[in-house]
Structure 1
Amino acid sequence: MLDNVKILGVPFSKMNMKETVNIIVNKIDCNNQSIFNIITGNPEIVLQAQKDSQLQTIFNEADLITPDGEGIVLASKWKGQPLFERVTGVDLLLEVLKMGNERGWSFYFLGADEEVNKKATENILEEYPNIIVSGRHHGYFDNVQEEKILLDIESKRPNILIVALGAPRAEKWIYNYKHRLPVKVAFGVGGSLDIISGKTARAPQKWQQLKLEWLYRLIIQPSRLRRQMVLPIFAYKSLMEALKEKRKRV
């Protein structure tokens, strides 16, 4: 694991976006065939890991965990080990697509519904015409279809596998099948394909700069309220952890 700060047991990378993309470039350029597993972690999945031993194991064995959410960055500041930049799933995906367009990388897109997956892939190819889409498949599959997906990925051998199955399903899927995935890099991207397809609007840049993207999403998707209720719980737990560690240092 690279230099990190632990928040509620989850080791978050201290690298910014540029450094993260550079690591991905190095992993794709090297001859090492083992998969480089990235997790973009937000407060919700961190809390889930506290009650899910498999998810905690996945975090511990991940190669890189990026801070996907302002809550993670704030918690790191409370601990006196500040993470200076969010590296969200959608932003990381867009930066990797940019780099892939320059370097001719191949991608496999797994997840979302068929309409979203197809439209997102079309939009990606229009914006980044030099990448190679080795394959794609929606995220609604049974065991038989799942085996066909794995065989397809095995035969296509893309540089990067993008998994949009939602968290923590995406992280568990990559972990459970990493021994069968002949890819250099894999990471989950949440609802990023919904945004790229145009189905869901992302918060305007001003809201992002004010670090209120979560509020914008709640306004346009009130159904997210239940999910957002984890934020004060995460804030309380991470603050208590920071205070406890501070007392130990005194």
Structure 2
Amino acid sequence: MNNVARIMGIPFPKITMEQTLELLGKVIDQDQAGLFHVVTGNPEIVMSCQNDKQLRSIIDEAGLITADGIGIVMVSRIKGGHLPERVTGCDLLIKMLEAGNRKKWSFYFLGADEVTNRRASEVITQTYPNVSVLGGHHGFFSEEEGLKIVEEIRSLEPDVLIVALGAPYAERWIHKHKSSLNAKIAIGVGGSLDIIAGKVKRAPEIWQKLHVEWLFRLINQPSRWRRQMILPRFAIRAIFFKESNK
């Protein structure tokens, strides 16, 4: 299929951030039945899918997979897939808040610690006054508390459910409860609430344009080095991976 680029078997649609926002806007406007699950696919998720059949099934059932990271985009171009640009969870969240401010969308924010979750909601309310923040909850909850959270989200019926529980746990949680959440769209956004709340500093724009945001994070959070080691392993495996045409 010419409209997708396959990375280790995972089909990434060849769409830009603008096209992604247009698609998600239509999902909200059309008020279709069922939750539209957006997976921000990074190298970690792609690698995990190679050995985790359940996760691969969740990804296959998602409504949309975006290229979360320059590594995904670069591998696609080396292999002739030519993804147009990265569509990261953090960037997509900001763009959706901007669009939501114009169109008066409603959001629910799940994830991060209690203080960070509350601060992120405060910043969003101040920055995007036309966005309806229906509620939120920190990401450290028991199974019993999780069921209460699901019920709260179901009763509030947000246009967009933002899940910042980390990958791939966010994807598993969304999929497990998707029939009960009563939201129009659910997106896993990694540590984006930490950035909005000011707990974690995002790389300056010049670092982002040079595609070395990962290096900025590593310098500022040296404890991430083990996690960052997946990037060269992903690049080598993905480049030499024999893709199916299916």
Measured against the shorter chain, the TM-score band is: over 0.9
The 3-state SS of whatever aligns with 1:5 is strand
Residue identity in the other structure for 1:25: G
> What residue in structure 1 maps to residue 238 of structure 2?
238
- Counterparts of 1:140 and 1:33, CA distance in 2: 30
Contact 2:6 2:81 in 1 (8 A): no
Residue pairs, 1:130-209, within 5 angstroms: 130-209=130-209
- Counterparts of 1:193 and 1:168, CA distance in 2: 17
TM-score norm. by structure 2 comes to 0.97
Identity level (%): 53
1:31 Cα deviation (Å)? 3.0
- Counterparts of 2:130 and 2:2, CA distance in 1: 31
TM-score norm. by structure 1 comes to 0.95
Alignment deviations for residues 149-182 of structure 1 (CA, whole Å, 9 cap, x no partner): 0110111001100000000000000011101111
- Counterparts of 2:163 and 2:72, CA distance in 1: 22
Q: In the alignment, is residue 30 of structure 1 matched against residue 30 of structure 2?
A: yes
Judging by fraction of residues, say which structure has more helix. 1
RMSD over equivalenced CA pairs, Å: 1.6
**Could you list the runs of 5+ residues in structure 1 that have no partner in the other structure?**
none
Aligned residues: 245
- Counterparts of 2:30 and 2:209, CA distance in 1: 35
- Counterparts of 1:167 and 1:17, CA distance in 2: 21
- Counterparts of 2:185 and 2:147, CA distance in 1: 20
- Counterparts of 1:2 and 1:40, CA distance in 2: 21
**Could you list the runs of 5+ residues in structure 2 that have no partner in the other structure?**
none
1:9 Cα deviation (Å)? 1.3
Q: In the alignment, is residue 123 of structure 1 matched against residue 123 of structure 2?
A: yes
Contact 1:5 1:11 in 2 (8 A): yes
The 3-state SS of whatever aligns with 1:129 is coil
The 3-state SS of whatever aligns with 2:122 is helix
Query: Which segments of structure 1 move beyond 6 Å, counting only runs of 4 or more?
Result: none
The 3-state SS of whatever aligns with 2:5 is strand
